[in-house]
Amino acid sequence: MKTIQIDKAEIDGRERIRLFFRYDQEIINLVKSLPGARWHPQMRCWHINLAFGPASNLNYRFRGKLEFVPRKLPVNGKNGEKQKKEDPIEKIPDEFIKTMKLRKYSPKTMKTYTIMLRLFIRFYKLKVLDELSDEDIREYLLFLVDEKKVSQSYQNQAINAIKFYYEQILGRPTNTYYLQRPKKERKLPVVLSEEEVVKIIRQVNNPKHKCILLLIYSAGLRLGEAINLRVNDIDSKRKMVMISDAKGKKDRYSLLSETLLELLRKYYLTYRPKVWLFEGQTGRQYSEKSIQTILKKAWLRSGVRKKATVHTLRHSFATHLLEHGTDVRYIQQLLGHANTKTTLIYTHITKTGFDKIKSPLDNLNI
């Protein structure tokens, strides 16, 4: 039986299962039978959706044909701990990390920029990073668009990371090279109806989990804003939630639902959080992944057909306020949008006004 070594790695912003094996067309054909299987030219490996794992699941799926085993990592250190060897060619310059820390970039932004720069370095691993030309940069961006078929968002992240390194670290002037910015996609976000929100929330029985989802919906919070809330950020007298150091390093207030306030009081008496409003088992902040899992399980049980994520609750909050007559300028402040144009997207989703318009088909005698 043919053996494949597997491990997990973040690829294009998503965690995937990497497959390592000697070139074998039969194995490749079997791997390609998995929906979404992709070849990564830089890593020189195939990768598949995390949902196909772990190894035991893959062994059952390809029983008698392939055997999947965890990839063996080189042993390093006094205690024999297994560690990944970092390719010195792909090492991120120390100054790149230090500058981001000094400018107080968020951990998420730092992680994204680091990934993007590492992929850029890997693409030109036979060249010196500081000596790459404007044409080299454009060639890489064309590769992302033509070969990788990346989204506009992904391309923008790559451009931002590259510009940050060459302009902020090496001190090149901004007009040293020109990068064509892709047009931003104008996709309308998925929005749940009020009835669909109720269906999902009713699938959550744990008091802490229910409070988290209800707070995100009732205050229009981003996921990161919810886990960063501290106990003192709940202003019960003024019926407001204080969101500190949000996106763009801005503070703002949002609504505190009276219904939720009663649930939060019961939650506090039961769990007694000390620092963070929602704490994990170790007393640290609740993880983003845990909240995403809570929402996904509730959504699957609810029978709601629309694809719903945690951020869908924020979109639904804004749309429902608009449908109930709230001025878009107030919604902008509650969401923390810097530009009203961002908030106006919800006017394309709301059903308010459309229920008074009659389709021309209804006027025909067919």
The residues that are catalytic are 222, 247, 311, 314, 337, 346
**Residues forming beta bridges with residue 285, ordered by sequence position:** 279
Are 154 and 174 in contact by the 8 Å Cβ rule? The answer is no
Which tokens is 203 given? 């699938």
For the chain, give the longest Cα–Cα distance.
Answer: 85
| Burial grade of 121 (CB within 10 A; 0-12, 13-18, 19 or more) | buried
Q: How far apart are CA 97 and CA 117, in angstroms?
A: 11
CA angle (296 as vertex; 294, 299 as ends), nearest 5: 110
Q: Is 244 helix (H, G, I), strand (E, B) or coil?
A: strand
Q: How far apart are CA 48 and CA 19, in angstroms?
A: 8
Starting from the edge strand earliest in sequence, which strands make up the sheet with 240-246, in order?
234-235, 240-246, 250-255
Are 343 and 332 in contact by the 8 Å Cβ rule? The answer is yes
DSSP letter string over 217-238? Answer: HHHT--HHHHHT-BGGGEETTT
Q: How far apart are CA 117 and CA 95, in angstroms?
A: 13
Are 219 and 285 in contact by the 8 Å Cβ rule? The answer is no
DSSP H/E element including 57:
helix 55-61
